Every structure is written in structure tokens, then in C-alpha cells.
Amino acid sequence: MMWWPVGASLFASNIGSGHFVGLAGSGAAAGISVTAYEFNGLFSVLILAWIFLPIYIAGQVTTMPEYLRKRFGGNRIPIILAVLYLFIYIFTKISVDMYAGAIFIQQSLKLDLYLAIAGLLVITAVYTVAGGLAAVIYTDALQTVIMLIGALTLMGYSFAAVGGLEGLTEKYFLALATNRTENSSCGLPREDAFHIFRDPLTSDLPWPGILLGMSIPSLWYWCTDQVIVQRSLAAKNLSHAKGGSLMAAYLKVLPLFMMVFPGMISRVLFSDQVACADPEICQKVCGNPSGCSDIAYPKLVLELLPTGLRGLMIAVMVAALMSSLTSIFNSASTIFTMDLWNHVRPRASEKELMIVGRVFVLFLVLVSILWIPVIQASQGGQLFIYIQSISSYLQPPVAVVFIMGCFWKRSNEKGAFWGLILGLILGLIRLVLDFIYIQPRCDQPDERPAVVKDIHYLYFSMILSAVTLITMSTMSWCTEPPSKEMVSRLTWFTRHDPIVHKEQVPPASPLPPILSQNGTAEASSTNIQLDTVQENMSKTHSCDVTHKQSRVVRAILWLCGLEGKDQAEPVSRVDLVIVSLEENPTVKALLNINLILCITCAVFLWGYFA
């Protein structure tokens, strides 16, 4: 792809309806500090193109599990990451998307939150079965364009309604709910609402945590997440990938003006609803006693936009959420069947894999629905802060493993495994404690343990990173170094090593697909799945008898997407588009100049709003 579709795709993959609801809600509740996540991502997407992408290209890898298998060998780390990604899907993807979409439907149609969730899931199921993945691909681009046009239009209406940025600066601190108790501090705007850098001990986002603790999960998302990296690898060459990252970096400035400031304006215009402080009133307004800041953006859409544009914006938001849910369901099903179920039953048929995948998605949906009350109660009812806190507990160990693998040649599989295990155990302990000891409302005493109350989640991210780093370094030093083939062209310092073509030696006797993985560190689950499906399909055809299926069986097969399928579709590997690190000197110089300009603009924005 050219550089501009890559950049647009990177931005669209990152920004969705959950971002609109979450960023605007946090802006309404606490001011612009949440913008730090977007500005931090600006640097991370540039690091992807200039530092991490050359390593992935040199190693000729197309997926992140493939990189880990080549760099460390074995199957332990990819299996752990498969389980971890499923946890992340439940806690930060499926439940969050359902909640964000339900808020839009709830505010539009005045329905109960869970009735809105049920409606969203039914429409999503019809959308998925009727259109499939092709419908998702064809509608994503159009939805993103309309969403951006609508968001920019709404931004104009919002600033006009409040009197511009100066009017917002004056009126935000006066935006109080009329029903709040006079002698209570509940519902008061923060005095540092227009500052990104805040007190390191008592604030909601301490500045040392923003600079250090926030950067590690950001690197995980932008530099090692399969969805993001795959879009960069789809570029024509490294220069186009860099151009796409530059475009995405410039676009990352928009959320402050499209989402955060409008969220603060919504608090000014609809103080009694968005800034409600009484739990009983909040329950009536939005169904969440912890606060109603997350309705800030839907409220603006419904109250400020003209009738036609209002309906279009809501339709696009819900459609984007359904598209996102469909993609997540597909990814979760693939991870579970290919990376986990395939190890339990290596000779499973295509029909079995499809049914298991669909049943597992139903399980994920049920767990995610049960998890929504926890989202409502967490982090004072701020959706975006909830997402980031979960990320700070689960993502730093994975990020450190990738960083060490890319930049330290001595790191090996044992060090990576034990560093990952220890880091994830500590993160899961803190995650469980966070959900056992829910943050109290402002009018209640805080009786949580010190490890939850006094250690901010961004500081805990720093602790997790340090523990993983020390454990991985120690174990790697105390065990044997990795072989040369596990280092060559797979680290920053060896990316220019000559390519060594290994000779393929046929095995003495045929092995089952699952056993063949033990012979090489580079076997992929896709190849295993292909062999397995082909073998089982031959068995199926040999035993196939033309008998009439019952209507119940046909209905189940239709629901699982297996109706009328006499042959298995071939499973193909994703071909690496970029195969060389070579760049045109003139283009490279222009990109580097643009990089310096982009970083300069970002530093200015940090300084101006800090």
C-alpha cells in the first residue's frame, strides 16, 4: 500500500467509538490530562517505523508470535501470549465496545443499558452472518471518514456553543450540577484540569507515571501488537511505512480537539447530567451510580448536531462498534482454535474447529456482559481510564520481552519465559485486588489496602517493567546464550547480517503435525492447521455418505457458518510485502526532516499543555 492508506489505517485501527466515549468522558470528569495517552502514542508510532519495523523486515516475519518463535524458539511464550490476548480481549475490547455502544443506544432510545447491549449483540450477529468479514473490510474505511467528518463538525458546533477555547477555560470551572451537596467536594472540577503534568503523589495522572509508566504499554500497543504492525508491513516499502507512521502521528493530535475538549464542553452545557454527583440521580440519568461522565459525547451528538447529521453520526458510531466487535470475535476465535485448541486436538476437523470457535465466542460474550458492572464501578466510572489501568497491569511484561529480544542479543527463551511469568503474576494479583477493592465514591472513606490505594497504576507499570527486566536479564545471563540463527537479522544490531538459506532435510519418518513443532522453532500454527485440515478433509470425503440432515443440524451448521461447504478453504500465509531495508537517499532524508518536524511539534504541544 501507499503511505497514506497505511497512515489512515493505523489511525482508524486505534480510534474507535470506545475512544470517543472514553476520551470525552475523561475530559468531562478530569480535564485534558488523558490527552497524554494520545501524545505518548504519537512518539510510539514513530518508534515503530524507524526502529522496530526494520527488525521485523530483516527477520522476514509477518506476525508477532512468529517473531517470538524465531527469536527465542519453543512454544511456551506464544501459548502464554495467546492466553493473555484472550484476557485482554475480554477486559479491554469486547466488554468495553459493548458498553460504549450501549451508552449511545441508551441515550438515543432511552432504553435500559442491558437491553441496549442485547440489541447491539443481535444486530452484530445478523451483520456478521449476513455479510461476514468482507462486510467489515468494505465498510471500515467509509465509517472512519464519516466519523471524522462528523466529529470535526461537532467540534465546531461545540466550541461555538461555549464561546471558543477562552469561553471553555472560564466556564468549565463553573460547571457544577445544581443537585450536588454544597458542603461536599463531590462533583467539583479539578483545579489542574487544563494541565497534563500533575502532582506526582496526589493527582489522578502523576507526571512521572506519564513519562515512564505510560510509555511501556504504549510501546506494546504500537510496536508489538499484531493489528498495528500488520498494517505497517503492508506498505510498499520501508519509506512508505515511515510515511504512514508520520501521517498517523500527525493525526494523533486530533483527539484532544475532537474528543477531549468537546467532552469538557459537554460538562459545561449539560452539567446536571454529565457532572452529576449524587449516586441516586446518576443512576436515574445513565444507570451508573459512580458517575455519568461517559455520556458526555453521546449527549453532544444528540443535542447539538442537526437532525440528519445526528442520525448519521449515531448510525456510524454503532456500525463502527459492530465492525470492531466482529473483528475481535474473529481474532479471538482464531487465537483459541489455532494456538490453544490445536495443541489439545491436533487432528481436529474444520467443522470441529468452526464449532469450537463459535462456542468460544459465545462464552467470551457472556463473560464480557457479566463484566460490564465492574467497568461501570471502576476508576470513578471513567471508561478510558479503566482501559488504561488494565493495560498497565498486563502489557508491560510483554513489551519488555519484545524490547529485550530486539535490543539485547544475549537474551534467551528461559529469561524471556520467566520474566514474562513473574511479571504477569504480579500484574494479575494487582488486577484482582483492584476489582476486589473498588475505588470508593468521593463521599466515602478510602479503606483499600496500601498497595491499591497508594501505588498508582502507572507507577505499578514501572514496577512491573523493572521486575520483568531484572528477571529476564538474570535468567539469560545464568543460562546458555541463544544460537546464532536466533539472533541473526532478528535484533537491531544484527539486522544487516547476510541472509543464510537453511537446507531443508526431509524427516526420516512422518510425524504428526503437533510433533513436528518440536523439530524447529519456526513452525507456525497456520502451517500445522493447513496440514491438519487437509488430512481430516480427506478422511471426511472418504467417509462421506449422502444422507439427509435434519433441520436442527442444518440450522446449527448455518449458525456456525458451515452450510453448503463441501471443501475446506485453503489456509494461506500472509506474504511479507516489504522485503528490503533499502531506501532512496533523497526520500530518506525528507522523511528524517519530517520526523524532526513532527517531534518538534509534539514537544511544543507537550510543553504548551503540560
pLDDT digits (tens, 9 = 90+) for 527-552: 434 344 444 444 444 444 444 556 66
Give the mean pLDDT of 411-431.
Answer: 95
Separation of alpha carbons 405 and 393, rounded Å: 21
Per the CB < 8 A criterion, the answer to whether 552 and 522 are in contact is no
Q: What does residue 469 show for φ and ψ, rounded to 5 degrees?
A: -65, -45
More confident residue, 32 or 151: 32
Separation of alpha carbons 333 and 86, rounded Å: 9
Cα dihedral 197, 201, 205, 206 in deg (nearest 10): 40
Torsion sign (Cα): 357, 361, 366, 371: positive
More confident residue, 361 or 39: 39
Task: Provide, for the chain, the percentages of residues in helix, strand and coil under a 3-state DSSP scheme, each rounded to the nearest 5.
Answer: 75, 0, 25
Going by the DSSP 8-state scheme, the letter that residue 66 receives in this structure is H
Q: Give the percent of the chain with pLDDT over 90.
A: 37
Angle (CA) 77-78-79 rounded to 5° is 90
Give the mean pLDDT of 507-525.
Answer: 38
Give the mean pLDDT of 447-456.
Answer: 88
Under DSSP, is residue 530 helix (H, G, I), strand (E, B) or coil? helix
pLDDT at 417: 95
Cell 526502529 belongs to residue:
51
Whether 173 shows a pLDDT value over 70: the answer reads yes
pLDDT at 335: 80
Please return the burial class of 102, using the count of CB atoms within 10 Å of its CB with bins 0-12, 13-18 and 19+.
buried
Highest mean pLDDT among 27-41, 97-111, 138-152: 27-41
For 308, the grid coordinates are 440528519
Under DSSP, is residue 467 helix (H, G, I), strand (E, B) or coil? helix
Provide the residue type at 150 as one letter: G
Q: What does residue 198 show for φ and ψ, rounded to 5 degrees?
A: -130, 175
CA 10 to chain centre: 12
| Model confidence pLDDT, tens digit, residues 346-404 | 888 888 888 888 888 888 888 888 888 877 777 666 788 888 899 999 999 999 999 99
Separation of alpha carbons 244 and 7, rounded Å: 4
More confident residue, 179 or 513: 179
pLDDT at 526: 39
Per the CB < 8 A criterion, the answer to whether 535 and 347 are in contact is yes
Cα dihedral 434, 439, 444, 445 in deg (nearest 10): 50
Whether 477 shows a pLDDT value over 90: the answer reads yes
| Model confidence pLDDT, tens digit, residues 111-140 | 777 888 887 777 776 665 555 444 544 455
| Model confidence pLDDT, tens digit, residues 551-597 | 666 655 555 555 544 444 443 344 445 667 888 899 999 999 999 99
pTM above the 0.85 mark? no
Cα dihedral 68, 73, 79, 85 in deg (nearest 10): -10
| Model confidence pLDDT, tens digit, residues 180-232 | 776 667 778 888 999 999 999 888 899 999 999 999 999 999 999 877 888 88
Angle (CA) 406-410-412 rounded to 5° is 80
Separation of alpha carbons 351 and 360, rounded Å: 14
How sure is the predictor about 408, in pLDDT bands with cuts at 50, 70 and 90? very high
pLDDT at 127: 61
Q: Which of 36, 19, 35, 199 is nearest to 96 (CA)?
A: 19
Q: Give the percent of the chain with pLDDT over 70.
A: 82
Separation of alpha carbons 280 and 273, rounded Å: 12
pLDDT at 508: 41
Per the CB < 8 A criterion, the answer to whether 496 and 581 are in contact is yes
Whether 511 shows a pLDDT value over 90: the answer reads no
Going by the DSSP 8-state scheme, the letter that residue 488 receives in this structure is T
Under DSSP, is residue 198 helix (H, G, I), strand (E, B) or coil? strand
pLDDT at 31: 92
Under DSSP, is residue 440 helix (H, G, I), strand (E, B) or coil? coil
For all residues of the chain together, what is the average pLDDT? Answer: 81
pLDDT at 500: 63
